[in-house]
Structure 1
Amino acid sequence: MLPAAVQAEKTRQPEGVGVDQKLSAPIALDTKFYNEDGKLVELSSFFDSDRRPVIIAPAFFDCAMLCTAVFDGISRAMTELAGKGMKAGESYRVLSVSFDPGDTPAMARAKGKLYRSTVKNQEVGPDGWHFLTGTQDNIKPLMDSMGYNYKPDGEVRYSHPAAIMLITPGGEVSRYLFGIKYDATDLRLSLVEASSGKIGTLTDAFLLTCFRFDPQKGKYTPFAMGFMQIGGLLIFVFLVGLVLFLYLRERNT
């Protein structure tokens, strides 16, 4: 059960607040943000361009309700992923980007230190989960490029959606995950897809053949054609093996 205040904020969506999904759209990699050390860096510096996908989690750092629940959900998912061999900093990276221009690098550093310590099954450093702050001139282009819409709200400072974005190593939007709880399997498969198969295992590749992401349900669901393809491949392998077996037996006799 969610605390009542978090549940209320999660369901309250004023006009103009939400997500316009921009799948495959490039995000504003040329924007600049302050890292936890207070150094101004270009967002592109957090992207490998060839391997590691990036999870972007918009928030503001003195938010005590919805943002905190999102961070908790990310931490739990990272713990589960690390327990199955997919570690932050190695296979993927998380960026928590503040959309409040009043947030400071000191706030980002404190928040980063706190939440990295909550991840179990691995020791997460700033390379795995980093918190960024910036000016409105850079915040708005980034949020707009991802279709993330928020607005000032006198009641809770900001009204904003609970969503994280999975970005390809080249800087394009690959997937949106909504809510404050992120199923580890869905997140893992989303990361593998975002990397174009450059991370993950053969099992992940098999699952992506047989399952497809359903944006209506917000999770991966069975894909009939994928199962048919796998079934057809298995039948083909069986027939080839049978023919080879019969041929070798015939030759030996």
Structure 2
Amino acid sequence: MRLRGTGAFGLALACVLAAASSGRAVTDAVKKRTVIDPASIQSVDRRGSKLPIELAFRDESGKQVRLGDLVSGERPFYLLLVYYECPSLCNLTLNAFTDNAKHSRYRIGRDYDVITVSIDPGEGPDLARDKKASYLEQLGQPEAGRFWHWLTGEETAIRKLADAVGFAYKYDPVQDEYAHSSLVYAFTPDGRLSRELPGIQQKPEDFDLALLEASNGKIARGIVDRIALVCYRYDPEARGYVLSALAVMKLAGVVIVLFIGTLLFVLWRREVRRARRRTTEAGVVDATPSDRETQA
């Protein structure tokens, strides 16, 4: 009887362990099927596309706004697609963006605007308001609040906006997170996608050059900005702006031509003045004998 009981107990224990092991295997299999492969999240280059200004969202105060209401038509703007309860990637992107904005020679509201949109339809204005307050404090420019908009919206509007700019994202129900691209979009004042800057953190010079390019030089703060607009080109392989050798040679050629032209003009003016001086002196010499005859 004792042996029999022990055997039954062992059999029951083996069954429990087998069931637990099987359960873990099933769970692991489900996770493998549902965890999203990052390689499947690929953004699409949609430069030149128009911002869908008719799409409606809610701002951080809960007010319903159209994207078109936020486009000034005078200043370029940045668009960021994130979600406010993102555990890592979005915060890194927003931190880097805010740091660039803080140290840029361009200012939010004066030179450009910013629109941040949550890709999570479950998030609302309260989260947007808290996030805005946090990043405005980090930025240290409270006056920028009127021009940095934090939006939430419904799935349909979010998806249409993402598709319009080529932003890729998918919801992962196992992790309860969104797998998504990391991009910052620069738009022209009239709402056309000018440049997309990939990566979590953009170089400060890329941050400024993308704005300068999107404005077509209108926000240039001096001759240095205008030269930069001519000499730098975006290189997809370098994932940033690089000095264009061809543009530099063209600019150097123009400078040389202007220098030679100026030099020739100066030499010509000098020669004209010398010729006039010689003519005047010769006239004085020729007039001297006749003056003596008149006196005689």
Report if TM-score (shorter chain) is over 0.5.
Answer: yes
**Contact (CA 8 Å) 2:101, 2:107: kept in 1 or not?**
yes
Give the number of the structure whose residues are more often helix, by fraction.
Answer: 2
1:207 paired with 2:231, answer: no
Pick one of 145, 150, 157 that aligns with 2:169. Answer: 150
1:237 is matched with 258
Q: Deviations over 1:106-140 (max 9, x none)?
A: 110000010111014x3343223221000112111
1:251 paired with 2:275, answer: no
Matched length:
237
**Greater relative contact order (Cα 8 A, min sep 6): structure 1 or 2?**
1
Residue 138 of structure 2 aligns to a residue in which SS? coil
1:41 is matched with 65
Displacement of 1:215 after TM fit? Answer: 1.3
**Contact (CA 8 Å) 1:23, 1:175: kept in 2 or not?**
yes
For 1:179 and 1:147, the matched residues in 2 are separated by: 15
Residue 152 of structure 1 aligns to a residue in which SS? strand
For 1:207 and 1:125, the matched residues in 2 are separated by: 26
1:3 is matched with none
**Contact (CA 8 Å) 1:13, 1:161: kept in 2 or not?**
no
Displacement of 1:15 after TM fit? Answer: 5.1
Displacement of 1:70 after TM fit? Answer: 0.6
1:174 is matched with 194
**Contact (CA 8 Å) 2:217, 2:229: kept in 1 or not?**
no
For 2:145 and 2:139, the matched residues in 1 are separated by: 12
TM-aligned CA distance change 1:190 to 1:128, over 3 Å: same
For 1:29 and 1:110, the matched residues in 2 are separated by: 25
Q: Could you say which structure has the larger radius of gyration?
A: 2
**Contact (CA 8 Å) 1:101, 1:136: kept in 2 or not?**
yes
1:4 is matched with none
**Contact (CA 8 Å) 1:93, 1:127: kept in 2 or not?**
no
Superposed CA RMSD in Å reads: 1.5
1:164 is matched with 184
Segments of 5+ residues of structure 1 without an aligned counterpart are: 1-11
For 1:64 and 1:14, the matched residues in 2 are separated by: 16
Residue 176 of structure 1 aligns to a residue in which SS? strand
Segments of 5+ residues of structure 2 without an aligned counterpart are: 1-35, 275-296
Point out the more displaced range, 124-133 or 17-26: 124-133
* TM-score computed with the length of structure 1 as normaliser: 0.89
What fraction of aligned residue pairs are identical, expressed as a percent? 31
The residue type equivalent to 1:211 in the other structure is: Y
TM-aligned CA distance change 1:226 to 1:184, over 3 Å: same
